[in-house]
Structures are given as structure tokens and as C-alpha cells.
Structure 1
Amino acid sequence: MTLTKAVRLLGATTLTGALLLSAAPTASADQVRDAQWTNAYFDLDKVWSVSKGDGVIVAVIDTGVDASHPDLTGSVLPGYDPSGAGQDKRPSDPHGTNMAGLIVGHGHGDGVGVVGLAPGAKVLPLYRETAAGGDAIPEDIKWAVDHGAKVINLSQAGVGEPKGDSALTEAVAYAARHDVLIVAGTGNDGRGKVASPANEPGVLAVGATDKADVIWPKSNYGSQTMLAAPGVGVVTPGSCGGNQYCIGDGTSNSTAFVSAAAALVRAKFPELTAGQVADRLVKSAKVPTALKGGKLPDPHYGYGILSPYDALTKDIPAGSAQGPLAGTSGSGATAAPSGAATVGADPKQPDALPQARSSSDSGLGVGVLAAIGAGAVLVVVLIVVVVVRSRRRPAPVPPQGQPPYGTQPGWPQPQPPYGGQAPQQGYPPQQPYGGQPPQQGYPPQQGPYQNPYGQGGNQPQR
């Protein structure tokens, strides 16, 4: 994958036709907060009674994060900009700030501003380009891993085939070996092809849904899709046209919610590996009404819609270290560099995921070649013996049916639906977060601010 100039910020193209949400100092306290329908959808009071993501670092590889935004003060760590321009903390584009707000936003004052799903976590901002405007995502992934991130949010989409970029594949493998979960959006073209890096083996790919749990029409889909999450009409903090808040659609938002949920789970269950965290998110997912009685995984919804409270409270065995994140090693994978900080590494399982050599890797030593030559005759003899004996026995009957993700031991069959959970009745809740009655014909038409939206949108194209 080459993201240079081909990168499309999911939430910035996601904010296609996005409107600006005014945040005048005299605006009513609940104007922005009530617009966050996802707060009631996730039932934040219940979720936060179990976990707020305390102690977990979520890296946001994006356009940088405005740490001075009142909804983010104190929640943004010093980050990294490979371009040297300092855009990790002084962004010229609000997209990274939008995503950080959905993850760790804490609002400000008495019920004012945006709250994220994991307000106890911290965001580590990284700028996504080099000084020449090239793709810095592989470098950023490794930097994030070496500086304590346990979850990496990639609300990005580019052109590229799985394992088509050796640097990206190596970086994903590096994160996997150091127990760091990478979450990325499937893309916003509505095509039946998951964008890169979400299509990379080992990355948790996320699609977008609306308030009714229906997949967003522009959400890309395919076999790599693992989860879906709310992404339509989502309010985010960030400087859009001089205002402090934006509202828009897309898999960027969905990705941020899943990254935040992963932080909640990592705080609650610190002993779980990245793969086991992904497994818990997948197995607790809510089956959408549209798929009731259908086959899972589904190319649009994956194994269902994110349900953070269930992910924190369901009785789900830890399972294998990889969970559903198969094939994460990739080509060129190397151990942590000498002297580098490996804060994210799990000392109990330093190499829990097996490394796989690239098909183009020809690094066989002379001694190995000599050993192969010396044993060639013996190998031929053994093969002949095996063939002769096999002709004396009937061929075994192959097992019936194919489990998902290949042949991982203990993985459940796709039917009945994954996790066996029936969709909740009357979901989402009819009362918004905080017990306020839902606003009709949003934006609100009554009150001192007749039109809280500005004109235009945040739509940079890459």
C-alpha cells in the first residue's frame, strides 16, 4: 500500500457533506452533548461503571490532535511527527482531533462538549506523513508500539492489496509481536473491497452503521470486515470552519469507537493479549436485526455491531493468543531494535504470534543448503516408503464443513450466528444519554440558536 497522495482520511472524506456544529460560548449546555446519540446507544453510565479505559494509551495515527481543545485537555500525550513540522500537536486538519474526541473526550464544564467512549485513556498523536508528503504509517506504527501504545487507531484508507506493502506488513507484525491491537476502517467508497490498511492480516477492520443498526451505504465491505460500529451523524470535537465541533458520517468514526472499546477491555482485562481483546469484542458483538437468522460473518457487518458493555461483562473464555487476528506475522518481521523501548510488549508472551517467512525470502545459509543436500537421498527413500504404504490403505474421509478463519482450534462455527446473541428489543434506547428527550428534526429548530450548523464541510482530498 502506498498512501502517498492516495490516502483518504476516512472521516474527512467521511465528513462528505458534513456540517459544522456551532459551539458559541452562550449555547445551551446540552446542545452538543444531546447531539451525541451514541452516548445513549452505548449506555455510557453502565459502561463507565465497569471501565473508563484508565491507564491505556491509544495511538491515533492521523493529522495530529489539538490538545488545547477544551474537551481534550490533559488527555493527549506528547506525540510524533515524522515530517518534523510539529503537526502531531498543531494540526492543520481537524480529523485527528475528531477521532481523539470520540476515544478520550471528557467534555468540559457541567455537561458541555463531547465525551468519548474511553475518557480514562490517553491519546498518543502521530502525524501520518513524512516531510516529503510520503506515507509514514509503518514508521508511526513502530514508534507508537515503542512508546507504550496498547491500541492503534487508523482511521485511514488507501489503495493497496493485503501484504502488498512490505513495510506496512512488517509494521503490523511488529505490533502483533509486541501485543498491540491495530484497528482500521474499511473505507468510504461503498465498494465491495476493504481498503488498506484495514485489509492487512492482523488488523481489526470496522464498517459503519447508523442509529437503526443499518449498514451505512458508503461503508466498504468484504471478507476482512470483522465488526461494525456507529458512524453516521456523529458529533466530534475539532476546528471546522472556525467552530469547535463537527458532525459527519463514515468508518473513521466507527474505527475510533472500536479503538476506544478496546481500551476499555484492556483496562478491565490487562492480562489478555491483543488477539484475545479482539476476540472479546467480536464474540460480544450485537447481531443486527437485518441479519437475524442469517449467516455470520457477514461482509458488511462482520460478526456484528460493537457492544462495549457486553464486551466488558460477558463470560467469554480468553481463547488463543491470536484470537481472530490470524496471519499477522508477515514478511520481513523483525524483533524490537536493540535499545528500543518495548513498553507494549508482553513479557509472558514475547513472541505469542508465530513468524512467517516471505515467499520471496531466500535467506538460507550455506550450512542449511549443505544439510539439505546430504539428506536428499534419505528424503527420497522415505517418500517412496510413504507412498507405497498409503496405497495399501483407503484414503481417510475429510472433515465436513469449514470453520471460519481457517483451522484455528476451538473457534466456533459460523452457524448459528457468532456468539448466539439475539438482537436486543427496542435498541437503541429511546431516551438519550442523561435522560433528556430526543430532539425532533435534528438540528433543533427551537431555542436561541435556530441554526446551530454552519455552511460547508471538512472535505480535504488526498
Structure 2
Amino acid sequence: MRALRRTVALAGATALVALVASASPATAATNDTLRSKQWGLTQVRAEQAWSTSRGAGAVIAVVDTGVDLTHPDLAAKLVPGGTFVGCSGSASCGDGNWKGVDGVGQDVDAHGTHVAGIAAAITNNETGVAGVAPDARIMPVKVLEDGSGNTADIANGIRWSADHGADVINLSLGSLPGTQVLSIAGLDTEIEQAIDYARTKGALSVIAAGNTSTIACTSPGFSSTGLCVGSTDKNELHSAFSELPIKPDLKVVSAPGGFGFGGCDDDVWSTVPTGAASGCGVGGYDAFAGTSMATPHVAGVAALLLAQGRTVAQAEKALTTTARTPVLGMRGTFTPLYGYGVVDAQAAVASAR
């Protein structure tokens, strides 16, 4: 075990109690009961892409705090998962359940269930929320307990996901600002190496930029070959809490992550474990804010692309070249606030391969 090892934590998921109903309802094309609150789904133009691709055959690994395996908006979408935190070795010792090996679910560990719902919740089932990739499957991989973990467990989870058929690996997690120097100096590169390995297996890693308002993606987003994701609010403005989506190879985009300082409908609604507390007062669902929420929007669009038979490189190119910069109206043009822009599912699936 290396003496220098980063502690990695969730890339922000703050539940906010609604004080005012400030969000404009989204146009609901599905019958999911909370669809009108899902402005993020509208912002990435997911529904307009579904006539071309719905993600069938693609698997999104949610490498996170685990998932509620019995949630009615997720259970039918799950493939077998794994647990790597709390195990005695590097092998999986569980099935990706959010409660972990001790059978106890901490409130903060609702995070992975929320991420999973954004990416690929069951859609048009008259229940809860719609997912960005409605026909993709979800692989629950628990690498964090009580909201944090270490690089070895996360790396093991990434490699396992790639070995078990994941097409997209969602990493809504990150280290503290400044710890990029560890991986740059070669002192702690386990996660980065695992992301490289996953890429050789045909899996695209999508990574949260972080929520401490600094000028670059945190690690592993900064220092890996994965795609780093910054956050936008419901008005398509860069979220104040989000890192600027900047990294050396400029593989960065933005997606809906919420406001973080307003009411529930200013943030991102999705699934939380059944029976867990909901700050927004809807059982099994809650609204969180963070680049953690932006990341699965991109993971879902990536699944739509990979389901078309594109390679990882082709999917990345489609995501970056078709992303749009708000206000300016440019596509595929890098800016410090948005990277290559807000992902656009409709344009991405229609782009040349």
C-alpha cells in the first residue's frame, strides 16, 4: 500500500428543501409523474434523441455508493453489480447494494441511487422520473461508504466494471483540489490506470469536475483519459459551485447539475432509496445539486451513442463536437466556463460517425 493515497469523496449531492416553486415546468413527453420537474432532461434534449437511439444494449456502471436494488424505478434495469468497500481483499464481496456489507444505509449513500436514476431510470412507467438513456441497463458498483473511500477500492470497482461488460463508467466522485499533483507526480495513479484499462476494454469513463469552484477539474477528472463534466443550472449558466471544466487534454463538457442555493425544482430530481428521508418530501425521490448530477446526464448520452455501435473515441468526438455553448450559440468550441459546451443528445446521435 502506498504511503500517499487520496481520500476520494462524492462530487457533491446536496438535498435542498423547496421554499418556492421557482422552476419552469419542462415539457413532459413521457408520463413519469416527476417529468415536468426534470429541466435537465430537457436541457440535454434527450427525448429528441430517442427516435434514433434509446441506449438498448448499453450498460452504465454507476461506480459510487451503491444503488437501492429494489427501487421500483430502477430494479428492472439492473444487471449484476459488485461491492468493493468493506471487503477483506480486492475482489467483490457484495452485489452493489447501497447498504453495503454491514447492511446499514447512511443517508449520504443515497447518492448512487440518485445518480443511477438520472442516467437510466425506467421511463414512461407512470412513476417518478425518466432516464436520459431509457433502454440502457445499470450496473451498481459500491466503492464508497458513508460518502467516501480510497483509490484502491475505486480502481478495483472500475476494473471489475470493465471486465463485466460496462460500456460507460460513471464516476460522480473526486478528490480535494490540489491533489492533482499526486497523480501528476506519479505518486497515486491507481484510478487513472484503471480508467485507462477500462478504455482498452471499450468503456468510456465520465467523471465529475468537482464542487469547490476552482479553476480546473479535480482528480481523477483532471489527470485521466476520461471525460470531465462541469455543471449548469436550469438557465444554462455555469453553476457557481462547479469547478471550471478544464483539464490538460481539454476533454471536457457541461451538463445539468443544478443551482445549489434555491428550491428543490432548481436542482435535479431523481431516485433515492425507498424509505430514505427526502428533503423535498416525495418518497423515493429527491432533488440534489452537484457535478455528481451533471455527470450521469453525460453518461446517459454516451450510452445512446455507444448503443449505436460507436467506439469510445467516436462517442467522445460526438459529445464534444455537438455540445453547444449557451448564449453564444457555438458548437464544439472550447470555453473556460463550459468546456466544449452543454451536451446535446439530439445532435450527438445524429452526428456522423
TM-aligned CA deviation for residue 129 of structure 1: 4.2
For the residue of structure 1 that corresponds to 2:207, the secondary structure is strand
2:318 corresponds to which of 280, 285, 291: 280
Deviations 1:174-233 (A, max 9, x none): 112222110001001111131111112311000001122110011101532610011111
Indicate how the Cα distance of structure 1 residues 94 and 313 shifts in structure 2: closer, same or farther if over 3 A, else same: same
Distance (whole Å) between structure 2 residues aligned to residue 107 and residue 71 of structure 1: 8
Pair 1:231 & 2:261 matched: no
1:261 corresponds to which of 280, 290, 301: 301
Pair 1:249 & 2:283 matched: no
TM-aligned CA deviation for residue 88 of structure 1: 1.4
Q: 1:113 matched to which residue of 2?
A: 128
Q: 2:341 matched to which residue of 1?
A: 304
One-letter identity of the residue aligned with 1:119 = P
Deviations 1:318-373 (A, max 9, x none): 4xxxxxxxxxxxxxxxxxxxxxxxxxxxxxxxxxxxxxxxxxxxxxxxxxxxxxxx
5+ residue gaps, structure 2, are 20-30, 88-92, 100-104, 259-266
1:181 corresponds to which of 204, 215, 234: 204
For the residue of structure 2 that corresponds to 1:279, the secondary structure is helix
For the residue of structure 2 that corresponds to 1:19, the secondary structure is coil
TM-aligned CA deviation for residue 287 of structure 1: 2.1
Q: 1:125 matched to which residue of 2?
A: 140
TM-aligned CA deviation for residue 288 of structure 1: 1.4
For the residue of structure 2 that corresponds to 1:141, the secondary structure is helix
RMSD over aligned Cα atoms? 2.6
5+ residue gaps, structure 1, are 22-28, 319-462
Mapping of 1:19-168 within 5 angstroms?
A: 19=17, 32-82=34-84, 83-84=86-87, 86=94, 88-91=96-99, 92=105, 93-107=109-123, 109=125, 111-129=126-144, 134-135=150-151, 136-159=153-176, 160-161=179-180, 162-163=183-184, 164=186, 165-168=188-191
1:193 corresponds to which of 203, 216, 237: 216
8 Å contact kept, 1:33–1:112: no
Distance (whole Å) between structure 1 residues aligned to residue 331 and residue 135 of structure 2: 37
Q: 1:217 matched to which residue of 2?
A: 240
Q: 2:24 matched to which residue of 1?
A: none
8 Å contact kept, 1:61–1:127: yes
8 Å contact kept, 2:167–2:202: yes
Distance (whole Å) between structure 2 residues aligned to residue 127 and residue 167 of structure 1: 17
Mapping of 1:403-414 within 5 angstroms?
A: none
For the residue of structure 2 that corresponds to 1:153, the secondary structure is strand
One-letter identity of the residue aligned with 2:256 = P
8 Å contact kept, 1:20–1:247: no
Distance (whole Å) between structure 2 residues aligned to residue 138 and residue 282 of structure 1: 26
Indicate how the Cα distance of structure 1 residues 90 and 108 shifts in structure 2: closer, same or farther if over 3 A, else same: farther
Indicate how the Cα distance of structure 1 residues 250 and 53 shifts in structure 2: closer, same or farther if over 3 A, else same: same
Indicate how the Cα distance of structure 1 residues 19 and 8 shifts in structure 2: closer, same or farther if over 3 A, else same: farther
Deviations 1:131-173 (A, max 9, x none): x953311111111111001110000011331444232232122
Distance (whole Å) between structure 2 residues aligned to residue 297 and residue 108 of structure 1: 35
Indicate how the Cα distance of structure 1 residues 303 and 86 shifts in structure 2: closer, same or farther if over 3 A, else same: same
TM-aligned CA deviation for residue 300 of structure 1: 2.2
TM-score by length of 2: 0.78
For the residue of structure 1 that corresponds to 2:75, the secondary structure is coil
Q: 1:431 matched to which residue of 2?
A: none
- Aligned positions, number: 300
One-letter identity of the residue aligned with 1:18 = L
TM-aligned CA deviation for residue 87 of structure 1: 6.8
One-letter identity of the residue aligned with 2:272 = G
TM-aligned CA deviation for residue 69 of structure 1: 0.8
Distance (whole Å) between structure 2 residues aligned to residue 41 and residue 133 of structure 1: 32
TM-score by length of 1: 0.60
Indicate how the Cα distance of structure 1 residues 133 and 196 shifts in structure 2: closer, same or farther if over 3 A, else same: closer
TM-aligned CA deviation for residue 19 of structure 1: 3.0
For the residue of structure 2 that corresponds to 1:188, the secondary structure is coil
TM-aligned CA deviation for residue 20 of structure 1: 7.8
8 Å contact kept, 1:20–1:241: no
Deviations 1:361-391 (A, max 9, x none): xxxxxxxxxxxxxxxxxxxxxxxxxxxxxxx
TM-aligned CA deviation for residue 90 of structure 1: 3.8
One-letter identity of the residue aligned with 1:202 = T
Deviations 1:215-259 (A, max 9, x none): 001110153261001111110110341631110211111100000
Distance (whole Å) between structure 2 residues aligned to residue 87 and residue 283 of structure 1: 37
